[in-house]
Amino acid sequence: MPLRKTAFRALAAICVIAVLLFAPLPWQPMTRIHSEVTIQRPPAEVFAYVSTPATWPAWHPSSLAVRSATDHPLEIGDEVTEDFRVAGREGTVVWKVAERRPPTLWRIDGTIDGRKAGTVTYTLTPSGTGTRFEREFTYQAPTLLFSLLNWAALRKQVDAESTEAVRRLKAKLDGGARLE
């Protein structure tokens, strides 16, 4: 009988832990990843390039492929589907343009399987003969498990990938080469 009671208590504890780890949080902690570079091109050129999804795989290491409206700068309400690999996780996100103020601001909101996945905001500011380009990626932790994983490793990986993305963007756009 005592063994049965102990097993029942252990099972109950495991169930409680599972519920706590996977249940939606009543508050969702926000993570903000900020990266920036100065690019030796006018803001209008940088804006047109970064708001054209077909260019994303050329400079963002997490962007594997894009589909639908990809060959032009997207307008408010336009959507694009992107296959990604972020922090080792592959998936598909649908981005929708939520705000657009050329050549200074562009914001897209992402959803994965109908759930909010994050927001990417590009802010462009004239800087000398070029553009100060800021990229901000924000996302929430929907569960305690995600929050713990984000704290332990994900945030650091996402930050490194974002830093690499703006470094590649600068390398791609600096130097006056023709943009494609």
Q: Tens digits of per-residue pLDDT, 2-20?
A: 777 776 666 665 655 555 5
Query: Rounded to whole angstroms, how far apart are CA atoms 71 and 54?
Result: 6
Tell me the domains of the chain and their CATH numbers.
Answer: 30-173 (3.30.530.20)
SS3 state of residue 73 = coil
pLDDT in tens, 46-56: 999 999 999 99
* pLDDT (average), residues 141-149: 77
- Strand-pairing partners, residue 36, are 134
Instruction: Pick the range with the lowest mean pLDDT from 8-17, 110-119, 149-158.
Output: 8-17
Rounded Cα distance between 142 and 74, Å, is 29
Amino acid at 175: G
How high does pLDDT run on average in the chain? 88
- CA-nearest of 49, 54, 46 to 70 is 54
Band of residue 165 on the pLDDT scale cut at 50, 70, 90: very high
pLDDT score of 141: 74
**Cβ atoms of residues 47 and 103 within 8 Å:** yes
Global pTM value: 0.84
Structure tokens that stand for 174 in this block: 């600096």
Which residue in this structure is represented by tokens 């470094």? 167
Beta bridge partners of 37: 133
Query: Once rounded to an integer, what is the mean pLDDT over residues 115-130?
Result: 94
Give the pLDDT of residue 6. 75
Structure tokens at 2: 């005592």
Contact of 96 with 90, CB cutoff 8 Å: no
Mean pLDDT (whole number) for 40-61: 96
In the chain, the amino acid numbered 155 is: R
Residue 123: alpha-carbon gap to chain centroid: 15
Encoded tokens for 130: 């070029």
